[in-house]
Structure 1
Amino acid sequence: MIRTVPTAPYKDQKPGTSGLRKKVPVFAQENYAENFIQSIFDSLEGFAGQALVVGGDGRYYNREVIQKVLKMAAAAGFGKVMVGQGGILSTPAASHVIRKYKAFGGIILSASHNPGGPTEDFGIKYNIGNGGPAPEKITEAIFERSRIIEEYRIADAADIDLDTVGSFDLAGMTVEVIDPVADYAALMEELFDFAAIRDLISGGFRVVIDSMGAVTGPYAREILEKRLGAPAGSVRNATPLPDFGGHHPDPNLVHAKELYDDVMSADGPDFGAASDGDGDRNMVVGKGMFVTPSDSLAIIAANARCAPGYADGIAGIARSMPTSAAADRVAEKLGLGMYETPTGWKYFGNLMDAGKVTVCGEESFGTGSSHVREKDGLWAILFWLNIVAVRKESVAEIVRMHWAEYGRNYYSRHDYEEVDTDAANGLMDALREKLASLPGQTFGDLKVEAADDFAYTDPIDGSISTNQGIRVLFQGGSRVVFRLSGTGTSGATLRLYVERYEPDATRHDVETQAALADLISVADEIAEIAKRTGRDGPTVIT
């Protein structure tokens, strides 16, 4: 039986760059999750009898919302829902399942790299049939619907047993509980030279992966330990937990410091990597070398032919605007198309679907390719292992040789988290008012060449995205970028990106923050960060 339930709209259900994210107690409000789910379905057309993919990162409230999605999908008229066993599907695995089985779309329950638990973060994101995040026209339609919703529809049925693989009937709709790892692991084995990586590991090359109590644990165990022969225990914090075991599942030098310190120790592993809550981000560390996400994108692109799945080369490269220009230099040398987009993986989807680009990346520890339509943490980690195995050089040697050939882009991101929203918006508004007057101004040895508020016209569909981040570019190639992040759930996160290009190999060993010190100081002077936020310094430096 299908039940229609009267409801009243909530006014705060505007999706950000990666869906709707709020604290668990917000989602647990009466009809809050139901309203948003119904708003998704009301904003779509042509899905009657089609398949929907559903899964999440296992965080607190994941199972409860999955049951709501299943019953509401049945009421909406979907013919089938494929859901990961235990409610688990990493974001890249969900994208792959959508694409492989030609599903109409998917709902991913995750707040990505944000903490989990009863008072922490939760999220709902809709992905379209190409496996990628919904474009703005759909997320805007969902938001508009959520503002006027008056009812939702749900099947009166018992909960589905999410822990048993198999097919079940739910009010006339088929629910197929699938192994969440199998399809994804098979895809990775097609893309990468597993034999070469097995030889590398069997030869004594020590690899550790920290899954941070989050979703990639089962994937990394299956691939690294079972298929590639790494010793048991090489995957740490491998069981997905509702609160991620107390970890903040964000793979960076702050939250994965224990892994970093271990690899850097004298008797530590040769290679370390970490992934985030939903499996789409990555951190790569080699003995004596942390690989920045910007460098990682550039080096993967430059060495793509090392992997069987990319043996014929790549079509082009795309990066988000705040990501360093390291990949641009690779594209220029290889004669490839290079695309600079706003932050948000959805902007890469059209380029990949049109065959314009193969490899994409964001400075926020996200790298991926056209094998799916999401960034993919474990894919990036395996690509690095493939490159090391084929080149037979250490991570540090590979990075330094890359710098010697292409130059080094010194780069850092400073995050000011949970800043008062009005203060953050005031800072950005004041910056916009200064844009016209900044070019030509000199700050110490730095002269402003240009300043703008980044706007993007999609070369495929002509859509325009404005106010995507304020750029101040200096003569000689240095720049600072300011933008507000859409991934937090309380206050605002101000992000400052700082970059300096250094072609001289004799100057590639300066400590990053020292190399960028004058730019950091000028950024504070131009934007009045300390004065407007009341902060003495950033919350996180990466």
Structure 2
Amino acid sequence: MNLIVATQPYDDQKPGTSGLRKKVPVFQQPNYVENFIQSIFDSVAGFSGETLVIGGDGRYFNRETIQIAIKMAAANGFGRVIVGQGGILSTPAASHLIRKNKAFGGIILSASHNPGGPTEDFGIKYNVSNGGPAPEKVTDAIYARSLEIDRYAINDGPDIDLDRISVQHVDDLAVEVIDSVDDYAALMETLFDFGAIRQMFADGFRMSFDAMHAVTGPYALEILERRLGAQPGTVKDGIPLPDFGGHHPDPNLVHAHELYELMMSADAPDFGAASDGDGDRNLIIGKRIFVTPSDSLAMLAANAHLAPGYSGGLKGIARSMPTSGAADRVAEKLDIGIYETPTGWKFFGNLLDAGLVTICGEESAGTGSSHVREKDGLWAVLLWLNILAARKQSVQEIAADHWATYGRNYYARHDYEGLSVEAATGLMDNLRAQLPTLPGRKLGSLSIRTADDFAYTDPVDGSVSEHQGIRILFEGGSRIVFRLSGTGTSGATLRVYLERFEPDTAHHGMETQIALAGLIEAADGIAQIRSRTGRDKPSVVT
């Protein structure tokens, strides 16, 4: 039976870059989950009898929230729900299911690369019918509704058996529990030369994939070991766990340190990769070489034609503003469009739907293409494998050839995590106040060419997004970007992006932090990081 339950609003349900993220105890407050899901349903229209996709990354509180979402979908008039077995769906797999089934939308339960557990992070994100994250006009409407909500609708029937592949019912709502992996794996087979990759493994190619006890484990096991024939044990930590095994499921050099050490060792396999909590990010490491996400985007774009799904060439490339300009040089050589957007995959959706771009990427380890409307960690790994199989070269050789052709963008991101909100916002406000006086200023050997607070006008719908990060651009192509992160759940995170372009191959062998030393010093001088935050070094360097 459907019930109407009285409730009172919470004032903290404003979605961030990737949905609503809070600590689990926040979501466990009375009616907190119900309020937000009802606010989603109240902010969209026309879903009566339609299909809704629901799934998550398996983190703590995933199953409980899925049961609530199913019962609320029933009471609000949806006709069909598709849910992954065990409540598991990677974010790119959920995007594919929305598109394949022409669903009205999807509810994805994840806090991405953030830690999981009873006192850690949880998240709810709404994706629209194109399979991508809800645009700002929708998330703004959801937040506005959450501030005035006074009731929600829910069915009081029994829970769905999420572990049994079947069609079950909640009154008139059909709930299809499906294999989480099959549809996604089938899509990957249409994009990549599985035969060539399978032969490469048969010839002795070795790799290590760290699934980080997160959602990508089942997908990687099925595709890499079963369909492509990689050695058993290629996939490490492949079973999703509610707390990710007590680890932080962020595929960077800090949290995937064991993989990095392996790849730098004398007995390193040929290729190393990792993915994050919900499967949309990737880490790429060759034998004794780490490929930055910015470089990976550029190298994938330059070589994508080697994969069957992209043999006709690319329509364009999009990158987030903090991502290095390496992809711009590829786009210029290919004579295709390059688009610089704010951070957040939702900004790529319009470009992809309009057919302006094929491949997109962010410096935060997200890469993807027009096959879905989310970034896709395993997709990037498979495209790298396809390129390695086609070129019959090592990652190191491919990188060296790329830099010789396009020049090298030395690049790093310095994160200052857990700052007080007051200190972080004060630092950014001070930077904005300096902007008119920065052009022409010299910092050591660096001369500032221009400085601004990045704003973006969407070329498809004309929407404007302002205050997306402070950019300091230097003569010669170097730059520093300052931005506050929108993906954390406590305190504030200051991200400082440092980029130096080096066209001379004689200088392509430098250690990255040494190459960026002048910019690191300049960043502190401009932003007064030490004095304003009390930190003498970043929390994480990637």
| Pairwise same-fold verdict (TM > 0.5) | yes
The separation in 2 between residues aligned to 1:287 and 1:400, in whole angstroms, is: 13
Residue type at the aligned position of 1:181 = V
Q: Which residue of 2 aligns with 1:42?
A: 42
For residues 253-273 of structure 1, the C-alpha deviation after alignment (integer angstroms, 9 at most, x for no partner) is: 100010011121111211110
Q: Which residue of 2 aligns with 1:127?
A: 127
- Structure 1 runs (4+) greater than 2 angstroms displaced: none
For residues 355-407 of structure 1, the C-alpha deviation after alignment (integer angstroms, 9 at most, x for no partner) is: 00000000000000000000000000000000000000000000010000000
Q: Which residue of 2 aligns with 1:515?
A: 515
The separation in 2 between residues aligned to 1:432 and 1:497, in whole angstroms, is: 17
The separation in 1 between residues aligned to 2:233 and 2:67, in whole angstroms, is: 33
Aligned ranges for residues 229-248 of structure 1 at < 5 Å? 229-248=229-248
Residue type at the aligned position of 1:174 = A
For residues 489-523 of structure 1, the C-alpha deviation after alignment (integer angstroms, 9 at most, x for no partner) is: 00011000000000000000110000001101111
Q: Which residue of 2 aligns with 1:269?
A: 269
The separation in 2 between residues aligned to 1:368 and 1:185, in whole angstroms, is: 15
- 2:209 equivalent to 1:209: yes
Shift in Å at residue 208 of structure 1? Answer: 1.2
Q: Which residue of 1 aligns with 2:27?
A: 27
For residues 409-465 of structure 1, the C-alpha deviation after alignment (integer angstroms, 9 at most, x for no partner) is: 000000001110111011101100000010011111111110000000000000000
The separation in 1 between residues aligned to 2:121 and 2:261, in whole angstroms, is: 28
Residue type at the aligned position of 2:257 = K
The separation in 2 between residues aligned to 1:304 and 1:383, in whole angstroms, is: 7
Residue type at the aligned position of 1:240 = P
Shift in Å at residue 470 of structure 1? Answer: 0.3
Shift in Å at residue 232 of structure 1? Answer: 1.3
The separation in 1 between residues aligned to 2:441 and 2:506, in whole angstroms, is: 30
Q: Which residue of 2 aligns with 1:424?
A: 424
Residue type at the aligned position of 1:90 = S
Residue type at the aligned position of 1:353 = D
TM-score normalized by the length of structure 1: 1.00
The separation in 2 between residues aligned to 1:405 and 1:473, in whole angstroms, is: 23
Residue type at the aligned position of 1:456 = Y
Aligned ranges for residues 384-399 of structure 1 at < 5 Å? 384-399=384-399
Residue type at the aligned position of 1:414 = H
The separation in 1 between residues aligned to 2:496 and 2:329, in whole angstroms, is: 23
Q: Report the 3-state secondary structure (helix = DSSP H, G, I; strand = E; otherwise coil) of the residue aligned with 1:518.
A: helix
Q: Which residue of 2 aligns with 1:320?
A: 320
For residues 216-258 of structure 1, the C-alpha deviation after alignment (integer angstroms, 9 at most, x for no partner) is: 0000000000000012111000000000011100001100010
The separation in 1 between residues aligned to 2:483 and 2:454, in whole angstroms, is: 10
Q: Which residue of 2 aligns with 1:200?
A: 200
Q: Which residue of 2 aligns with 1:69?
A: 69
Q: Which residue of 2 aligns with 1:475?
A: 475
Residue type at the aligned position of 1:425 = T
The separation in 2 between residues aligned to 1:11 and 1:537, in whole angstroms, is: 35
TM-score normalized by the length of structure 2: 1.00
Q: Report the 3-state secondary structure (helix = DSSP H, G, I; strand = E; otherwise coil) of the residue aligned with 2:473.
A: strand
Q: Report the 3-state secondary structure (helix = DSSP H, G, I; strand = E; otherwise coil) of the residue aligned with 1:3.
A: strand
Shift in Å at residue 172 of structure 1? Answer: 1.1
Q: Report the 3-state secondary structure (helix = DSSP H, G, I; strand = E; otherwise coil) of the residue aligned with 2:254.
A: coil
The separation in 2 between residues aligned to 1:393 and 1:14, in whole angstroms, is: 47
For residues 276-328 of structure 1, the C-alpha deviation after alignment (integer angstroms, 9 at most, x for no partner) is: 00000000111011110000000010001110000101100000000000000
How many positions carry a matched residue from both structures? Answer: 542
- 2:353 equivalent to 1:362: no
Q: Report the 3-state secondary structure (helix = DSSP H, G, I; strand = E; otherwise coil) of the residue aligned with 2:106.
A: strand
Q: Which residue of 2 aligns with 1:251?
A: 251
Aligned ranges for residues 49-448 of structure 1 at < 5 Å? 49-448=49-448
Residue type at the aligned position of 1:462 = G
The separation in 2 between residues aligned to 1:448 and 1:208, in whole angstroms, is: 43
Q: Report the 3-state secondary structure (helix = DSSP H, G, I; strand = E; otherwise coil) of the residue aligned with 2:428.
A: helix
Q: Report the 3-state secondary structure (helix = DSSP H, G, I; strand = E; otherwise coil) of the residue aligned with 2:403.
A: helix
The separation in 2 between residues aligned to 1:517 and 1:498, in whole angstroms, is: 10
The separation in 1 between residues aligned to 2:126 and 2:406, in whole angstroms, is: 39
The separation in 1 between residues aligned to 2:80 and 2:167, in whole angstroms, is: 10
Q: Report the 3-state secondary structure (helix = DSSP H, G, I; strand = E; otherwise coil) of the residue aligned with 1:217.
A: helix
Shift in Å at residue 472 of structure 1? Answer: 0.5
Residue type at the aligned position of 2:447 = K
Q: Report the 3-state secondary structure (helix = DSSP H, G, I; strand = E; otherwise coil) of the residue aligned with 1:284.
A: strand
Q: Report the 3-state secondary structure (helix = DSSP H, G, I; strand = E; otherwise coil) of the residue aligned with 2:250.
A: coil
The separation in 2 between residues aligned to 1:99 and 1:485, in whole angstroms, is: 29
The separation in 2 between residues aligned to 1:347 and 1:526, in whole angstroms, is: 29
Q: After the TM superposition, which of the residue ranges 258-267 and 177-186 deviates more from structure 2?
A: 258-267
Q: Report the 3-state secondary structure (helix = DSSP H, G, I; strand = E; otherwise coil) of the residue aligned with 1:159.
A: coil
For residues 96-118 of structure 1, the C-alpha deviation after alignment (integer angstroms, 9 at most, x for no partner) is: 00000100000000000000000
Shift in Å at residue 140 of structure 1? Answer: 0.2
Residue type at the aligned position of 2:158 = A
For residues 155-203 of structure 1, the C-alpha deviation after alignment (integer angstroms, 9 at most, x for no partner) is: 0100000000010010210000010100000000110000110111111
Residue type at the aligned position of 2:522 = V
The separation in 2 between residues aligned to 1:432 and 1:141, in whole angstroms, is: 29
The separation in 2 between residues aligned to 1:320 and 1:240, in whole angstroms, is: 30
Q: Report the 3-state secondary structure (helix = DSSP H, G, I; strand = E; otherwise coil) of the residue aligned with 1:303.
A: helix
The separation in 2 between residues aligned to 1:285 and 1:38, in whole angstroms, is: 43
Name structure 2 gaps, 5 residues minimum: none
Q: Percent identity?
A: 71
The separation in 2 between residues aligned to 1:328 and 1:230, in whole angstroms, is: 34
